[in-house]
Amino acid sequence: MNVIFLDWPCFGREDCVNALKALGHEVSFFFHEDYNMRKSAEFDAAFDTYLQNHPADFLFSFNFYPLVSEGCKRNQIKYISIVYDAPLVALYSYTIVYPCNYVFLFDKTQYLELYNLGIRTVYYMPLPGNADKITELLQLPHDRDFYASDISFVGSLYNEDHNFFDRLTDITDYTRGYLEAIMEAQLRVYGYYFIEEVLPKRILDDMKNSLLYEAGNTGIQTDEYIYGSYFLGRKITELDRIRTIKALGEEFPVKLFTRNPDFSLPGVTNMGTVDYNLQMPYVFYYSKINLNITLRSIKSGMPLRAIDIMSNGGFLMTNYQADFLDFFVPDEDFVYYTDLADLKEKVRYYLSHEEERARIAKNGQEKIRKFHSFEQHFREIFAVVFPET
| Cα 173 to Cα 206: distance, rounded to the nearest angstrom | 11
Burial 122-149 (b: 16+ CB within 10 A, else e): bbbbbbbbbbbbbeebeeeebeeeebeb
pLDDT, tens digit, 9 for 90 and up, residues 65-83: 999 999 999 999 999 999 9
Which residues of the chain register pLDDT less than 70? Answer: 160-162, 216-217
Q: What pLDDT score does 317 carry?
A: 98
Calculate helix-pair angle for 340-351, 354-371, nearest 10 degrees. Answer: 100
pLDDT, tens digit, 9 for 90 and up, residues 214-225: 776 678 899 999
Judge whether 30 and 58 are in contact, CB under 8 Å. Answer: no
Q: Count CB atoms within 10 A of the CB of residue 161.
A: 6
| Cα 10 to Cα 3: distance, rounded to the nearest angstrom | 17
> Which domains does the chain carry?
2-128+373-385 (3.40.50.2000), 133-162+233-371 (3.40.50.2000)
Q: What pLDDT score does 226 carry?
A: 95
3 state SS of 224: helix
Torsion sign, CA atoms 96, 32, 88, 84: positive
Q: What pLDDT score does 315 carry?
A: 98
Residues 6+ apart with CB under 8 A from 38: 66, 67, 93, 216, 218
Q: What pLDDT score does 27 carry?
A: 98
Strand partners of residue 59: 4, 79
Q: What pLDDT score does 216 carry?
A: 63
Question: Is this prediction's pTM over 0.95?
Answer: yes
3 state SS of 347: helix
Strand partners of residue 316: 290
Q: What pLDDT score does 89 carry?
A: 94
Q: What pLDDT score does 161 carry?
A: 62
Whether the link from the prior residue into 99 is cis, omega within 30° of 0, is: no
